[in-house]
Amino acid sequence: MPEYCWSVFAETLSNTQASLLRKLFEFKVVRVNLDFDQIMCASETPVVEEFFRQTGLDYRGSPIDRWLALSHRAAREGSMSFEEAAVIEKPIWENPSVLMKAMPILEIQRYSERAHENGVIQTIVSTRIPGLREQTLDWIKIHYPWIPLDSVYIRGGLKTPKNVFKGIIIDALGAEVHLEDAVDSAQAVLSYSDASVILFPRSSERGSFSGEERVIEIPDMSLWKNVYNA
Domain-embedded: residue 1:
no
Q: How far apart are CA 151 and CA 98, in angstroms?
A: 24
Do 106 and 76 share a structural domain? Answer: no
Residues 33 and 94 both lie in one domain: no
Domain end (from 55, 75, 99) = 99
Residue 84 belongs to some domain of the structure: yes
pLDDT at 1: 35
Of 81, 99, 117, which residue is a domain's last?
A: 99
Cβ-Cβ contacts under 8 Å for 177 (sequence gap 6 or more): 20, 24, 29, 31, 32, 33, 195, 196, 197, 198
Please work out, in degrees rounded to the nearest 5, the angle formed at the alpha carbon of residue 46 by the alpha carbons of 43 and 73.
90
60, 168: one domain = no
What does the pLDDT read at residue 90?
A: 96
134 is in which domain, residue-wise? 6-42+102-228
Angle at 107 between CA 105 and CA 113, to 5 degrees: 100
**Residue 83 domain-assigned?**
yes
Per-residue pLDDT of the chain (230 residues; tens, 9 = 90+): 344 577 778 888 999 999 999 999 999 999 999 999 999 999 999 999 999 999 999 999 887 878 899 999 999 999 999 999 999 999 999 999 999 999 999 999 999 999 999 999 999 999 898 899 999 999 999 999 999 999 999 986 667 778 889 999 999 999 999 999 999 999 999 999 999 999 998 877 778 888 899 999 998 887 887 666 64
Residues 183 and 107 in one domain: yes
In terms of pTM, does the model score above 0.75?
A: yes
Domain count, the chain: 2
The values of phi and psi at residue 182, to 5°, are -110, 130
Q: Are residues 81 and 177 in the same domain?
A: no
Does residue 189 contact residue 196 with C-beta atoms inside 8 Å? no
User: What is the C-alpha separation between 100 and 135, in angstroms, rounded?
Assistant: 7
